[in-house]
Each structure stands twice: as C-alpha cells, then as structure tokens.
Structure 1
Amino acid sequence: MGSDAQNGSAGGSGIRVAEGSGVCFGVRRALRLAETALESGEAVYCLGPLIHNPQEMERLAGKGFRVIESLDEAGGGGRLLIRSHGLQPGVVAEARGRGLEIIDATCPLVRRVQTLAVELQEAGDRVIVAGDAPHPEVRAIRGHAPAAVVVNDVEAVRRLALSGRVALVAQTTFSPGAFRDMAAALRERDLEEVRVEDTICAATVERQRGAADLAGHVDVMFVIGGRNSANTNRLAELCAAR
C-alpha cells in the first residue's frame, strides 16, 4: 500500500491505517514456536485457537496443527503448545501426565501478570484482576492465583467487600481507562494499602489510542479481526464511540 493511500493525503481521501495495527509480538512469538514445532512432523495440539484469524489457523492446520477443546482429543503423545494467553498449571500438569511435551508460548507480559498475582497473593494481599472472567488469559491467571477475584467494571469494584491490603492487576488487553477508574475507586476505600500494578500491554494501549484517534477523522471505520477476539471487540467499541 502506498504512503498516500495509507495516510489519506491524496486530496484528503484514501485508506488510512491506524497506528499500532497488526499482530502483537506475543502472538508473533507463538506463531514462530508453532511453525518450528511443526517442522518435526509430530502432532502439535493447542487448547483453543492460537490466533483469532481463521485463514491463518487453516494454513497451520494444513501443516498438522490441531486445535482441541479437551486434552482427551490429544490421544497419546505429541506436543501441546500453550498459546499466548497462558494456561492453568493444573491443565499443564495433566498434559504432562498424559505424555504430552509442553511448548510454552505464553506471552512474557502475560507471564508477568501470573507471577505478580502469585507473589501478591503469597504476600497476603487480596488480589483483584481487572478483566473478563471467561477470557483464557484471565482463567490462566486465576489458575496461578486461585484466591484472586475478577471484576470488569468500576461498579463491580465498589460492590466488593474488602479490607486490609488489596492489589490490582489487569488482563493485558484490558481497557486502560476502565483500569484507571477501578484504581481510583479502590483508593477511595478505607483500606490498609492499595497496590496498583498496571499490567496492560503497551501495544494494546497504542493500538486502542491509534484506532480511536483515527475513527474521529474518517467517514467509515473498519476494524478487521476475529469476532471472538477480545482485542477486536474492544477496538470496535472504542471506534463506535467516536
């Protein structure tokens, strides 16, 4: 795509692409690991799609990549690739017990949230995760820190019965604005200590800002992505609001 079309500078019209668009480094890393694993010729399984892109998943399937919903579908042997969202430790242990080799493609930023949640929980803090409870990343975080509570808006934070020390972390793709509101609501409470750890991915922030800014300056805005992708849906919401 030429620069005029991309930036919309040809007579004020054209196709403009929001800053930060594209696949994040965590997913790119997972794709590289999947490609490398497939070179061995062994079966490579993944609990859920590696990326919310049907065309890319079809391409990987042609090389032997298998998306499964349960470890029962893996049969005996082969490899299990943990996608960038991460996976609950109990599921990983079960997979190893079934003879599956583990390829860990957990995004390093997601791993940081998991580690923080464990450390904070072990330190005696009440861990609150700002995120969507059904999302695989959040389920994996709670798998590491089972006592953590998940909330997805500021009103849910206000309804929580809290005391003592509290720590707030976030799903890496969570809304920065909503996270700030939650942190402010916690600081208004009469608590011994409120620790706020902003674990939102910087690329997510850049992508959301770029999409929202562009949506305010164009006649029509398209958000291209998987319908079941949290990232895509959040971008669509932000753009629609503009």
Structure 2
Amino acid sequence: MKVIKAEKMGFCFGVKRAIEKVEQALKEEKKVYTFGALIHNNQFVEKMKKEGVEIVENEKEIKPGMTVIVRAHGLPPKTMKEIEKKGAAIIDATCPKVLNIQRLAKRFESNGKNVIIIGNSSHPEIIGIMGNLETGIVVREPEEVDRLPDNLEEIAVVSQTTEEQERFEKIVGILSKKFKNIEIYNTICEATKERQDGAKKTTKEADAMIVLGGKHSSNTTHIANICGQLVKTFHFETADEIDGLDLKGVSKIGITAGASTPDYLIEEAVQKLNQI
C-alpha cells in the first residue's frame, strides 16, 4: 500500500516556540508549570511531565516561587495579573499571532466597534481574547448569526487562529448580509490554512486518510472534518490505533497531522502504515 504524506503537517511556529521556552526553562529549573496543558496532545504532555513539566489549571494552584509558562493559546490579562500577585515568575509563550488578535480586538472595541470572534467560546485562545474585551461576541456556527441583535452597529470580525476557512467564510457571508457597517479580518493562522489545504490536496490522491493528533485539538479536529467530507477518514492519536484497521480496497492512504502533533508520533504512524 502506498503512503502519501501531506506536504504540511505537525508542529506550527507557535507550538515550537512554546516548547522551546519550556525546554529553556527546564535548563534552569528542575520543575516548571504550564497554565493548562502546553499543547492539545496527551502523549506529548505525558512526555513533558516526565521531564519536569507540571500543569496548573487555575490561579488557586499557583504558589510563590513557581515558574509558570503561559502556553501558545494565551491567557486573559486578569489571569496574568493574578499569577503575578501569587508571586510566581511568568514566561509568556503566547503565540505572536494570538497576541496580535488580542490587540486587534481590544483596539477595535476601544474605537467603538462591536467585536465578533468566529470560533469556539470554550477554547483557551478565545477565552484569552475575550478577556481583553468588555462585550465581545463569539459565533461558532452559521445559524448563530440569526440570534444576534439586529441593532448592532460598527462591527469588526476576527477569527480563532485554528478556525476552518470554509466555516469562517460562510459565517462572514451571513454576517455581511445581516449587517451593513462591518469590517472583516481573517486572522486564521497561515499554518492552519497550509495544513487544511495540504490535507485537501492529499485526499485527491488517496483512497483514505489518517489524521493524527489529539481528539481535543481544535486544529486537528477541523482537519479531520475537512478530510471526512472528501474521503474515508480516521482520526487517531497514536500509531497503535492503526492496528487492526480495515483497509480493504485501499491501495493509497494519505496521512496528515494537526499543528500540535509531534514529529515522532507522525513517523511512528508512517512506519506502521508502511508495514501493512
């Protein structure tokens, strides 16, 4: 069976940068803490735990003297201040692209605009962006637009960096019909676009697809959804899940991975597929 690898997959710039900051901190400290899981990949998080990286989930867990790393998703300013008040040292690994959206949203609101963010309201990136606003609005699905107040004026739209391009465009199209004074800023990360486009391209050559990455990873789930609309798709977290997979009638299988999937997990999956 032929294995076709997507051109772009695995760690993005923001994830690599955050990991590098953790690794640098571990050279100076035996133990460091991340506010929430560093990335949405259970296997890598467990690997980092063995190297001295612990997770704190809220401000109450912070103790004086801790070194706390803010992951690529960022945090609300209020949370950052609470960590500082606790006497912990902060290493800010917020992705620069996420920081840019935070600043954009804050500036738009200060200029009197209603800020609409296209994304998942429970995702840490969105929580961080919303923490910079007084009255931001999050839209997840196209049908939610109908429930927005008709009297909104001066609207600025931004997006979660890992949003699906097609869903973003669909929601923007509906918003533009409903509201007249609206400015659109497509803040989907270029790495996200590359991975989504690369996955689509790979489906054209493959009979089936394997998307590798955390089941709770936003960008990986979006890639799996995109591939699933085009070809038979399996979303796995590890190569072990390939065992016993029914690939009857599949002569060419494509493989891609989310931006939070480490190279070693991708290589393990490729090796296993090559043995089939």
Asked if TM exceeds 0.5, the reply is yes
Supply the distance in 2 between the matched residues of 1:44 and 1:147 (Cα, whole angstroms).
Answer: 34
Indicate if the aligned counterparts of 2:62 and 2:86 stay in contact, CA closer than 8 A.
Answer: no
- The within-5 A match list for 1:147-158 is 147-158=135-146
Supply the distance in 1 between the matched residues of 2:220 and 2:213 (Cα, whole angstroms).
Answer: 5
Supply the distance in 2 between the matched residues of 1:51 and 1:83 (Cα, whole angstroms).
Answer: 7
Moved beyond 3 Å, runs of 4+: none
SS at match of 2:182: strand
Supply the distance in 2 between the matched residues of 1:177 and 1:117 (Cα, whole angstroms).
Answer: 22
Superposition TM-score, scaled by structure 1 size: 0.90
How far off is 1:34 after superposition?
Answer: 0.4
Pair 1:71-2:90 in alignment: no
The aligned residue for residue 10 of structure 1 is: none
The aligned residue for residue 13 of structure 2 is: 25
The aligned residue for residue 161 of structure 2 is: 172
Supply the distance in 1 between the matched residues of 2:198 and 2:154 (Cα, whole angstroms).
Answer: 36
| Aligned residue type for 1:181 | K
**Which of residues 115, 119, 125 in structure 2 aligns to 1:137?**
125
| Aligned residue type for 1:102 | I
The aligned residue for residue 59 of structure 1 is: 47
SS at match of 1:86: coil
SS at match of 2:117: strand
Indicate if the aligned counterparts of 2:62 and 2:83 stay in contact, CA closer than 8 A.
Answer: no
| Aligned residue type for 1:69 | E
| Aligned residue type for 1:113 | I
How far off is 1:18 after superposition?
Answer: 1.1
Greater fraction strand: 2
Indicate if the aligned counterparts of 1:47 and 1:68 stay in contact, CA closer than 8 A.
Answer: yes
Pair 1:201-2:201 in alignment: no
Q: In angstroms, what is the RMSD of aligned CA positions? A: 1.4
| Aligned residue type for 1:118 | K
Supply the distance in 1 between the matched residues of 2:134 and 2:120 (Cα, whole angstroms).
Answer: 15
Q: Which moved more, 1:211-220 or 1:170-179?
A: 211-220
SS at match of 1:144: coil
The aligned residue for residue 211 of structure 1 is: 199
Pair 1:234-2:206 in alignment: no
Indicate if the aligned counterparts of 1:117 and 1:144 stay in contact, CA closer than 8 A.
Answer: yes
**Which of residues 92, 99, 105 in structure 2 aligns to 1:117?**
105
Indicate if the aligned counterparts of 1:42 and 1:78 stay in contact, CA closer than 8 A.
Answer: no
Supply the distance in 1 between the matched residues of 2:163 and 2:225 (Cα, whole angstroms).
Answer: 13
How far off is 1:145 after superposition?
Answer: 1.3
Pair 1:163-2:155 in alignment: no
**Which of residues 164, 170, 177 in structure 2 aligns to 1:188?**
177
How far off is 1:42 after superposition?
Answer: 4.8
**Which of residues 79, 89, 100 in structure 1 aligns to 2:88?**
100
Q: Which moved more, 1:123-132 or 1:157-166?
A: 157-166
Q: Which moved more, 1:108-117 or 1:153-162?
A: 153-162
Supply the distance in 1 between the matched residues of 2:186 and 2:24 (Cα, whole angstroms).
Answer: 33
The aligned residue for residue 265 of structure 2 is: none
Supply the distance in 1 between the matched residues of 2:36 and 2:140 (Cα, whole angstroms).
Answer: 23
The aligned residue for residue 128 of structure 1 is: 116
Deviations 1:110-169 (CA, angstroms, capped at 9, x unpaired): 001100000000000000000000000000000011311000122212321142211100
SS at match of 1:183: helix
The structure whose RCO (Cα within 8 Å, separation 6+) is larger is 2
How far off is 1:53 after superposition?
Answer: 2.5
Supply the distance in 1 between the matched residues of 2:76 and 2:152 (Cα, whole angstroms).
Answer: 28
How far off is 1:190 after superposition?
Answer: 4.4
